[in-house]
Amino acid sequence: MGKAIYEKNDIKLDNYNLLVDEALFHNANGYIGVRSAFEEGYPENFKTIRGEYINGFYDFTQTEQAENIYGLVHEKQTMLNVADTQSIDIYFDDEKFSIFEGTVLKSKRWVDMDKGITGRFVSWRSPKGKEVEIKVIRMASFYQLSLFTIEYQIKPINFSGDVMIESNHNGNVKNFFDPHDPRNADESFQYLTPESCYIQYGASYINSHTSKSGLEVCSCVKNFLSGESERQFIINESNAQCQMSTIAQPGKKIKLIKYAVFADSLRVENCKVTAASEMKKALSVSLQELYKHQEDYLAEYWENSYVEIQGDNELDMALKYNLFQLIQSVSKDEYGNIAPKGLSGEGYEGQYFWDSEMYIQPFFTITNPEITKSLIAYRYEILDKAKENAKLLGHKKGALYPWRTIMGKECSGYFPAGSAQYHINGDIAYSIIAYYLATKDLDFIQEKGAEIIFETARLWMDVGNFYNGQFHINDVTGPDEYTCIVNNNYYTNALAQYNLQWAVKLYFQMRKLPEFRKMQKRIKLSYEEITEFKKAAEQMYLPYDEKLKINPQDDSFLQKKHWDIDTIPKKNFPLLLHYHPLHLYRYQVCKQPDTILAHFILEDSQPQEVIRNSFAYYEKITTHDSSLSRCIFSISASRLGLEDKAFKYFGDSTKLDLMDLHKNTKDGIHTANIGGNYMAIIYGFGGLRIKESGIYFAPILPKKWTGYRFRICFENRRIIVGITKDHCTFFIESGEPIAINVYKKEYLLDGKLTIHRKKTLRRED
């Protein structure tokens, strides 16, 4: 890939841009996440979302409902700000370092995607004329997931004198809230209570417990200062301050290294003992060795995830930034998943959605499939909770995964656009099948995947019903949250059909295996159920309009009034913040692709003409208020040969966070959109499809690019694909020869294969 560093020079010090930078330059490794607030803090009148988070660690909080109706959510889970280990105050004699006072001569922030670190540089002159250069390197370790480090370098330029450093470890923290934005928590609450704060072997420990969930977390901090002359600790029940002194000399660097580790009771039995052990492990090697481990981890990641845009360095850098955020955000164990904001902020309160399965797992499935296994394992861990959720909503059998969750219970207080989105069952089933098709890992499917497939299939049989020879699914909401509680949502029905079909296939494929029989007996899966699955799949009703030759989004969608979205004032977007939901539900207006997404993932379910007509129809009425929208339109436009449109949608999508296009990056990055960026290249421009019948490519080349290359993992093979104006090149780096389909023609890939591209090679029928 191209440039591995994203940087900003001459940092803007207004509150809004500082909040955005807290997200853009955050550090995370899938277990911990630390927003990039200044170590020394901001002026009192500035807002900050100064958070440090643990993936999957949560507390319960009340959700008020206007009416106490049975089954509505009255309690939800929220991700917690667990501690503040990043605070560092510097005093030069009697002057405290703050770039909001004195003069900033030069400043820069950066993230190095190869080294896995972020940096900040400030050249500063104090009000009394002292000049100093400060460089800060921060890392959330992939080698040791519990570890966050700060390397703080101070270089006095024109003075000597006393330097005092106050390094704080604060357990008295709260979560961010914004009562004016439904995507954030609307109230402040003390979720964590510190129960002990003490010093042991020169390290500070704070052990805290949650208010309701019964979880504990321990954070441990240790500081090392070069040339240290004096040290003391000031502690109370919730804060430990390490005060260190040294002498400043012109040109001589002073270095502080601050180590912080975390342990939580979701994953370990004794948080205090584990935190001490993790600190010992961190200190057993030098910081430089930790940096080397970080770089080695990422070298392997970038090799597996290799994708390069040729002819557009800016877009290539943005793409690499995005993919770095995915590996920072995704959980590496079954206790967490990946939230819409990753670990970069508190938008959506750290809850997990369908984004994981439909936008992010496709990336990991063909680059780092072990991570996909971990994400599926998380869904398996909460399967019993999904069964409880199904019963709560009145279903006698099966599992219904919650729309929003952390530990398995539903968090969505507004059920029409939340709990009613039954398609999440189909999304999860689809992602498991996609993993199987890409890896042929039947052992894992037998161990965890199949049970999810069968329990979700059971749910469709209970929520749907046969009527006039067809199977209908009524009163659900599809992906488009501007159209809620409808009958026969096309996307939902199509995915339900796919779920049921694969439940039948897996049953007959695995029924003679001993482990499968044990599972079958345990969940009481009968042959009669399989017969019903098959019948429902064959008779699934999929809405179709003969006149328009499109798939209507649902049974009533085409009956609604049209709303020319070009006439809506720009200040009224996103619509959900300016119009009552019922107003939106009465119009043909979409927040994001619904039927278009179904046509992408299940393209063989409809003729090309229907897919083309549907694209043209829904494009005019989609607002793209969701960050999940443009990437799917890009992929669909690529499939239809609409290259200019595909590229436009892709460009907007790729720079969404770096340019803050939705004006809410301050709350965290948009992980699902990032996954969609990748799909827009590989599945869109590259035309990749992985089906039961094999692997398919149909590449196009955007006019502004000279070419692009990417690597994928398929059935234990590593394949590099390169596209230029005249050629498509396929090279099998490892694994046995395999048949591939390119532009609807089959080839044997054994070594290197070069195909001459022609203008007639389009994806139109």
Where in the sequence numbering do the catalytic residues fall?
481
| Residue burial 423-451, b: 16+ Cβ < 10 Å; e: rest | bbbbbbbbbbbbbbbbbebbebbbebbbb
Cα 525 to Cα 130, 356, 402, 451, 519: the distances in Å are 76, 28, 23, 10, 8
CB 525 within 8 A of CB 517: no
Closest residue by Cα to residue 171 from 279, 32, 276, 52 = 52
453 contacts 518 by C-beta, under 8 angstroms: no
307 and 711 Cβ atoms separated by less than 8 Å: yes
Let me know: does 483 contact 559? Beta carbons within 8 Å. no
Q: Are 399 and 458 in contact (CB under 8 A)?
A: yes
- Determine the Cα–Cα distance for residues 748 and 546; give it in Å rounded to an integer: 41
Name residue 231's amino acid. Answer: R
Contact 112, 5 (CB under 8 A): yes
DSSP line for 491-511? HHHHHHHHHHHHHHHHHHHHT
Is 419 in contact with 413 (CB distance < 8 Å)? no
C-alpha distances in Å from residue 657, one per residue of 89, 222, 339, 340, 638: 30, 34, 16, 13, 23
3-state secondary structure of 281: helix
Residue position matching structure tokens 């106050």? 166
Report the C-alpha gap between 654 and 436 in whole angstroms.
28
Tokens of 734: 């490892």
